[in-house]
C-alpha cells in the first residue's frame, strides 16, 4: 500500500477556501467521523445535533459552518457548506488508484477496436469490434464492451460490467460491478393474445462525470437513444427504461424505477424506491420523497411526497377501507352542501 500523503491545514484552506482559525501547520492525513477521529484526522459538523460529539472528539482539526465557529478550540476551517467541503477534502486525501496501462493477456480485443495506450483492460475482459477505449480509462476484469461502443477518457468500469453495442459513456464516469447498460428495453406490441417483440434499435448515451451504481440497468432506446446527461449520480439497483432522459446533476437513490420515455429534469433528487410512470415530464429542481409513486407530470419545482403513513397493520387496513369509500363520501358532502345552499336561498 502506498504511503498516505500528509497535508497541513493551511494547504487545504488555500486549495478549497474557507476561513482558517488555529494552527495552519496542523498535519492531516485522513478524514474521519467525530467519534473515531485521531490527531491526524479532520472531521466536520453539519448540524447542531453533532455539537456534543464535537466537544469530545480527538480530531486534529474540524470543518464547521459560520454559526459554529466558536463551538470548539480545535484548529478549524469555517465554510458555508461543511459537508461539501468535507467531500472535497476526502477526495483529496483518497485519490483513485493509478491506472496501470496495458491489456491483460487473457482479455479479448476484437478487430478494429481502438484502445488508448494509457488505458487499462483487465483479466478476461471483452472489447468488441470497433469499440473505442479512451485515454486513462480502466476496464475491469470480466467486463463486456460491445461492438462500436465508446468509453471516454478516465472512465472507470469495475469488474463484470456489461455495456452492449452502440453505446457511449463519457469522460470520468464510474460504473460499478453488475451494471448493465444498453440491454433491450421492454418494447412489446399486443396482437390477438400474443406479445410481439419490438426491436430496440436506439442506444444509450451517458455524459461526463456520471456514476452508475452496482446492478443498475439502463435500457437502450426503442427508436432513439436513452440519454443520461452530465453529472447524474445513480445509486445501486435502479431501473432506467428505454428512451428515458435524465437531466444534468440529478441524483437518484437505490431501487428507483423509471418507466419508458419519461423525462426527468436537471438538478432533481429522487428518493429510494420511488416509482415514476412512463411518458411523463418532471421539471428541473424537483425533489421526490422515498417510496413515492409518480403517475402524472410535475411541472413546477419543489418537493413532492406520496407515501402512505406508516402505522399498525390493523389500522392500515381500516384506513385503506375508508379510502375506498372516499369518492362516495365526497359526493355525499357535495349533495349536503347543495341542500344547505338551497335552504339558505329559500329563507332569504
224 is catalytic: no
Distance set, CA 103 to CA 16, 147, 287 (Å): 37, 18, 43
Rg over alpha carbons for the chain, rounded to the nearest Å, is 27
CA distance 155 to 126: 16
Backbone angles phi, psi at 339, to 5 degrees: -65, -40
Q: Which residues contact 193 (CB under 8 A, 6 or more apart)?
A: none
Q: Which of 165, 242, 279, 322 is catalytic?
A: 242
Q: Which residues contact 36 (CB under 8 A, 6 or more apart)?
A: none
Cell of 9: 491545514
Q: Which residues are catalytic?
A: 242
Amino acid at each position: 500500500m502506498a504511503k498516505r500523503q500528509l497535508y497541513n491545514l493551511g494547504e487545504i484552506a488555500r486549495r478549497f477556501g474557507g476561513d482558517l482559525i488555529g494552527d495552519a501547520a496542523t498535519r492531516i492525513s485522513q478524514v474521519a467521523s467525530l467519534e473515531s477521529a485521531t490527531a491526524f484526522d479532520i472531521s466536520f459538523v453539519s448540524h447542531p445535533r453533532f455539537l456534543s460529539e464535537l466537544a469530545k472528539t480527538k480530531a486534529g482539526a474540524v470543518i464547521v459552518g459560520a454559526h459554529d465557529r466558536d463551538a470548539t478550540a480545535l484548529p478549524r476551517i469555517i465554510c458555508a457548506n461543511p459537508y461539501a467541503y468535507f467531500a472535497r477534502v476526502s477526495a483529496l486525501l483518497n485519490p483513485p488508484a493509478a491506472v496501470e496501462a496495458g491489456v491483460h493477456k487473457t482479455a479479448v480485443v476484437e478487430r478494429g477496436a481502438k484502445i488508448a495506450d494509457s488505458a487499462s483492460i483487465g483479466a478476461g475482459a471483452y472489447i468488441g469490434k470497433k469499440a473505442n477505449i479512451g485515454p486513462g480509462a480502466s476496464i475491469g476484469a470480466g467486463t463486456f464492451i460491445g461492438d462500436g461502443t465508446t468509453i471516454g477518457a478516465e472512465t472507470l468500469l469495475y469488474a463484470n460490467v456489461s455495456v452492449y453495442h452502440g453505446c457511449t459513456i463519457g469522460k470520468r464516469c464510474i460504473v460499478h460491478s453488475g451494471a448493465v447498460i444498453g440491454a433491450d428495453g421492454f418494447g412489446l406490441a399486443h396482437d390477438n393474445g400474443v406479445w410481439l417483440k419490438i426491436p430496440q434499435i436506439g442506444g444509450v448515451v451517458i455524459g461526463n462525470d456520471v456514476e452508475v451504481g452496482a446492478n443498475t440497468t439502463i435500457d437502450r432506446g426503442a427508436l432513439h437513444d436513452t440519454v443520461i446527461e452530465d453529472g447524474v449520480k445513480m445509486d445501486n439497483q435502479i431501473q432506467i427504461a428505454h428512451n428515458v432522459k435524465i437531466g444534468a446533476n440529478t441524483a437518484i437513490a437505490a431501487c428507483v424505477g423509471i418507466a419508458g420515455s419519461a423525462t426527468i429534469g436537471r438538478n432533481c433528487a429522487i428518493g429510494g424506491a420511488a416509482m415514476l410512470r412512463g411518458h411523463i415530464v418532471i421539471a428541473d429542481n424537483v425533489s421526490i420523497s422515498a417510496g413515492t409513486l409518480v403517475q402524472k407530470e410535475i411541472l413546477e419545482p419543489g418537493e413532492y411526497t406520496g407515501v402512505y403513513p406508516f402505522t399498525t397493520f390493523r389500522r392500515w387496513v381500516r384506513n385503506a377501507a375508508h379510502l375506498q369509500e372516499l369518492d362516495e363520501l365526497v359526493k355525499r358532502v357535495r349533495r349536503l352542501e347543495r341542500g344547505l345552499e338551497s335552504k339558505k336561498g329559500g329563507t332569504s
